[in-house]
Amino acid sequence: MRSSTGRRPARAALAAAVALTTALLAGGCDGGSGEAATTPEAKKPAGPVWNTRPTSMASLGDSITRGFDACSLLEDCPQVSWATGTEVDSLAARLLPSPAAQSWNHARTGARMADLPGQMRAAVAHRPQLVTVLLGANDACRADADRMTPVADYRADFEKSLAELRRALPRTQVYVASVPDLKRLWSEGSRSALGKQVWKLGICPSMLKDADAQDAAAQERRDRVDRRVKEYNAVLEDVCRRDRLCRYDGGSVHGYAFTGESLSHWDWFHPSRKGQQELAELAYRRITAAPPAA
């Protein structure tokens, strides 16, 4: 009988090679199918890309977007609205080929965030490519600081509104403006004796009542309203960040260093025609900015 000792090293080497090949195939195949495995990033579908030139838009919000007190006392003036106005270089005028026919203003004077879901449903009916939102000043401007909208409720209504939009129009873009700096409004407007008289009619009393008062209670009240506005803006930023087609303004409206010329000389609170123009510029810059690199 022929000895097999000489064959053992060769057989061992062959077995090792087979084992190595099997291991490599197992590691390089998906479920043993024989197809090359792909990484999760390769399988992930490409998301929608922000369009810097939408052709239709709907604007939601409160008296600011309605142009209140920009043209005459205690009246809306939507024709000078930063969003959809036809008598100023509004956002719609800058963006849309047919601004009068392809923009809709569903903002309402006095609206709070609780009104946004209803406004959003009205906007959805037009199937706009862009929706703008500027809302929250009235949530902080209450008869008393204790009656300001709780932050949790503000968040819930904003989230509900975006959910309404996404169910109906998953590819519609959203621009969200920050809530204006109400404390700066008080600081600028309180320089006008007329403005302070108008404020006594009940404009944003949580911030503006007793405009000349400098006692500790008045300062704490204004600081409290100021903190709540900042909390609202933090909500807007956080919720918008979770939506791939939502752009928050980065706090540009809240941080804008407007002067008295930007305020209505009817009430020293709402934007003047000039102020509306400045809001349009801030929005246009943000909406037309190139998307960040992937």
Average model confidence (pLDDT) across the chain: 87
> Distance of alpha carbon 56 from its chain centroid, rounded?
18
| The predicted structure's pLDDT at residue 294 | 54
| Window from 16-20, 65-69, 122-126, 209-213 with minimum mean pLDDT | 16-20
> Distance of alpha carbon 238 from its chain centroid, rounded?
9
Beta strands 57-61 and 103-105 are: parallel
Domain boundaries, the chain: 65-287
> Are residues 256 and 178 in contact, defined by beta-carbon separation less than 8 angstroms?
no
> In the chain, what's the furthest Cα-to-Cα distance?
121
> Are residues 70 and 273 in contact, defined by beta-carbon separation less than 8 angstroms?
yes
Higher pLDDT, 283 or 43: 283
> Are residues 182 and 141 in contact, defined by beta-carbon separation less than 8 angstroms?
yes
Q: How many CB atoms lie within 10 A of CB 133?
A: 29
Mean pLDDT (whole number) for 29-39: 37
CATH topology of domain 65-287: Rossmann fold (3.40.50)
Q: Number of C-alpha atoms within 13 angstroms, CB side, residue 253?
A: 32
Mean pLDDT (whole number) for 133-142: 98
Q: What percentage of the chain reaches a pLDDT higher than 90?
A: 75
Rounded to a whole number of angstroms, the CA Rg of the chain reads 29
Site of tokens 């959805």: 124
pLDDT digits (tens, 9 = 90+) for 245-265: 999 999 999 999 888 899 999
33 pLDDT above the threshold of 60: no
22 pLDDT above the threshold of 70: no
